Amino acid sequence: MKRVRIVVFFDCVMAVFLLCLVFQQRFLNAAVETGKRNEMIQEETKRVALTFDDGPNPEYTEKLLDGLKDREVKATFFLLGNQVELYPDIVKRMHEEGHLIGNHSYDHVNLGALCESEACTQIKKTNDAIYKVTGEYPEYLRPPFGSVKNKLDEDMNMIVTLWDIDTRDWEVQNVASIESKVLGKAKDGEIILMHDAYATSVTAALDLIDKMKQDGYEFVTVDELIFE
C-alpha cells in the first residue's frame, strides 16, 4: 500500500512538472510572438517629414513635385512670400497635389532681429500671398535661420516648426553628402530640413525616399507628425 502511495505521489509530481514545462513553453512562445509584433509595429511607425525651404523655385520645384507625385509622397514646403507672388502656378500645384504649405517669411530675413511690427509684416504678407493662391492661410511658420522672437507665433496664431536633421544641402550641394546626414540617422517622428532650389537637393531627396522606403520609413507632412 505504501509503495502504491509513493508511485501515485511520484506520478502527481511528474504531472505537475510536465504541466509547468508546458505553461513555461507557452509563455515563452507568447513572449516571442509579442516581441515580434512589437518589432513589426515599430517598423510600421517609422514616420519622418521631408520639408523644403525657400521656394518655390522656377527651375527645380516642379521637378521635385514630379518625383514626389511618382512616389506618392507628400512633403511640407515653407515658402517665401516674394517667390509665391512670382510663381503662383507652382504654389497652386503644390496645394492641389496635397502638400502642406507653410510660411518662411516674405524675403528670407532674420525675424528674430526685427522689431515685432516688422516681423509681423513679413509673416502677414506671406500669409496673404499664399491665401491669394490657395484660398487657405498657412498655419505653420518656419522662421529663417530658426530665429524668432518670443510669443511672435502666438501673436500671429501660427505654429513655429523647426527641424531635427539639417542636411546643409544648400552648402554642400553634393548628393552623397546630403544623403549621409540622413541615412541611418533619421528616427521616427523627425523632421528633415532641405531646400528645393538646387538640383542636388532634388536628386538627394528623391533618392532618400527610395532608399528609406525600403527600410520601412513612411513620409508624411509636418501636421501629421504633430497631431497624429
Active site members = 53, 195
**Dist. CA 48–CA 22, nearest whole Å:** 43
Q: How many angstroms separate the most distant Cα atoms in the chain?
A: 104
Cell of 196: 528645393
Cell numbers placing 37: 509584433
Is residue 173 within 8 Å of 198, Cβ to Cβ? yes
Bridge-based pairing of strands 165-166 and 100-103 is unpaired
CB 91 within 8 A of CB 133: yes
Residue 77 cell numbers, joined: 514646403
Query: Which residue's C-alpha cell is 510536465?
Result: 18
Rounded CA gap, 202 and 194, in Å? 9
In the block, residue with C-alpha cell 517667390: 83
Q: How long, in residues, is the chain?
A: 228
Count other C-beta atoms under 10 Å from residue 6's C-beta: 10
Residue 175 CA to its chain's centroid (Å): 20
